[in-house]
């Protein structure tokens, strides 16, 4: 599963049932969050409308599955990130709250239901993500493509951002997706390469980097985007190196947010990065040439994705105009 986030609202036996592979691990006590991380409980009426629409269309959202702290704000503005191909992930990343296990068969009606929800929400920009589907021969690439096509059929003006898994060992998966022409291809690196064996044990840093690089080689008009969770024990120089790697792959947009520990069975927060440090990392990313940068404790891949996309497009157009 390629997203970060996470405060687990599902207390009690949640860790045991959702993450059986983590049950044997020793507990990591959850550190008290600093005041800049606290978020208000959702009360806005539109939040409840969004929630009902997701239920009525039998859609899964990463906002809920990952227990995202921004759900009150995003859903009150009808911004929900739909998670396709079920709610069970074949990976078992140590930061992620999405349930691990053997997923169900794909639901052929899902693309139409997603498209219907996008139309009902009246979204200008939609973010679609998924669980990892290592069990499928194409990693779910064709299903992603069907979702993109279904949204385009019903809402041709809506721009589409996809946040994908790494398609490790899935030949041609990326080609299938690129052919469907999403506006933004987002794949999160999540952390620095040194921490992969602990944080993303089923993934490979260079596979993720190659994936992003290859999108641009296949279709340079697609915006690429990637994100990092900070506070897992990474060093400043390592973040700078990852930024350089992303720029070599011509990635347009970087997001950086604080890692939050979902349960005692997940990786511990090494430290809470201060808002000032996030600003400094943001400034560093701008100097390195990213077209768009979002860096704050509560930044998530899909947080403010619609307004950020509008800015991203404007910035690229302005640069292209300046180059002529």
The rounded distance, in Å, linking the Cα atoms of 58 and 156 is 23
Of 18, 286, 1, nearest to 9 by C-alpha is 18
Query: Strand 253-258 and strand 292-295: pairing?
Result: parallel
CB of 138 to ligand SF4, least distance (A): 25
Q: Which is nearer to ligand SF4, 205 or 292 (CB)?
A: 292
**Is 155 part of any known ligand binding site?**
no
Site for ligand SF4 in 296-315 (CB under 6 A): 300, 302-303
15-21 long-range contacts, Cβ below 8 Å, gap at least 24?
Answer: 15/263, 15/264, 15/265, 15/266, 18/97, 18/98, 18/99, 18/100, 19/92, 19/99, 19/100, 19/263, 19/265, 19/266, 20/100, 20/101, 21/92, 21/100
Partners of 256 in the β-ladder: 228, 295
Q: Are 82 and 128 in contact (CB under 8 A)?
A: yes
Q: Which is nearer to ligand SF4, 60 or 71 (CB)?
A: 71
Q: What does the DSSP assignment read for 14-39?
A: HHHHH-GGGTTSPP-PPPPPPGGG--
The rounded distance, in Å, linking the Cα atoms of 108 and 236 is 45
Site for ligand SF4 in 75-104 (CB under 6 A): 79-81
Site for ligand SF4 in 35-64 (CB under 6 A): 62-63
**Is 63 part of any known ligand binding site?**
yes
**Is 150 part of any known ligand binding site?**
no
Contact region for ligand SF4 (CB under 6 A) — 49-57, 148-156, 201-209, 295-303?
295-303
State residue 246 phi and psi, 5-degree precision.
Answer: -65, -40
User: Pick from 70, 97, 99, 208: which binds ligand SF4 (CB under 6 A)?
Assistant: 70
The rounded distance, in Å, linking the Cα atoms of 89 and 101 is 6
Of 169, 203, 154, 208, nearest to 186 by C-alpha is 208
Q: Is the dihedral angle over the CA atoms 141, 128, 241, 91 positive or is it negative?
A: negative
The rounded distance, in Å, linking the Cα atoms of 21 and 180 is 35
**Is 89 part of any known ligand binding site?**
yes
**Is 2 part of any known ligand binding site?**
no
* Residue whose token pair is 């609202």: 9
Q: Is 68 in the site for ligand SF4 (CB under 6 A)?
A: yes
Contact region for ligand SF4 (CB under 6 A) — 13-21, 66-74, 84-92, 267-275?
66-74
Contact region for ligand SF4 (CB under 6 A) — 15-23, 72-80, 188-196, 281-289?
72-80
Site for ligand SF4 in 3-32 (CB under 6 A): none
**Is 68 part of any known ligand binding site?**
yes
Site for ligand SF4 in 151-210 (CB under 6 A): none
Q: Which is nearer to ligand SF4, 258 or 302 (CB)?
A: 302
**Is 295 part of any known ligand binding site?**
no
CB of 217 to ligand SF4, least distance (A): 28
CB of 235 to ligand SF4, least distance (A): 26
Residues in contact with ligand SF4 by the rule CB under 6 A: 62-63, 68, 70-71, 74, 79-81, 300, 302-303
The annotated binding site is made up of: 63, 68, 74, 89, 93, 96, 302
Binding residues for [4Fe-4S] cluster: 63, 68, 74, 89, 93, 96, 302
């Amino acid at each position: 599963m390629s997203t970060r986030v996470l405060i687990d609202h599902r207390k009690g036996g949640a860790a045991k049932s959702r993450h059986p592979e983590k049950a044997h691990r020793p507990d990591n006590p959850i550190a008290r969050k600093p005041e800049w991380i606290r978020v208000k409980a959702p009360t806005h009426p539109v939040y409840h409308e969004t929630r009902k629409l997701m239920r009525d269309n039998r859609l899964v959202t990463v906002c809920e599955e990952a227990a995202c702290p921004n759900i009150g704000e995003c859903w009150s503005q009808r911004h929900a990130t739909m998670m396709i191909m079920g709610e069970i992930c074949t990976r078992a990343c140590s930061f992620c709250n999405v349930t691990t296990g053997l997923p169900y068969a794909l639901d052929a009606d899902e693309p139409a239901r997603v498209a219907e929800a996008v139309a009902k929400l009246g979204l200008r920009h939609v973010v679609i993500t998924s669980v990892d589907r290592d069990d499928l021969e194409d990693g779910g690439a064709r299903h992603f493509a069907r979702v993109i096509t279904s949204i385009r059929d019903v809402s041709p003006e809506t721009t589409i951002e996809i946040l994908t898994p790494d398609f490790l060992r899935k030949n041609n998966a990326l080609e299938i997706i690129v052919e469907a022409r999403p506006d933004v291809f987002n794949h999160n690196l999540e952390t620095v390469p040194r921490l992969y064996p602990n944080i993303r044990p089923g993934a490979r840093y260079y596979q993720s980097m190659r994936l992003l690089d290859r999108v641009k080689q296949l279709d340079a008009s697609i915006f690429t985007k990637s994100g990092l969770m900070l506070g897992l024990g990474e060093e400043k120089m390592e973040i700078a190196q990852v930024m350089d790697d992303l720029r070599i792959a011509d990635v347009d947009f970087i997001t950086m947010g604080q890692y939050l520990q979902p349960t005692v069975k997940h990786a511990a927060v090494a430290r809470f990065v201060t808002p000032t440090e996030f600003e400094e990392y943001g400034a560093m990313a701008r100097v390195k040439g990213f077209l768009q940068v979002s860096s704050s404790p509560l930044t998530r891949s899909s947080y403010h994705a619609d307004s950020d996309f509008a800015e991203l497009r404007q910035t690229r157009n302005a640069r292209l105009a300046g180059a002529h």
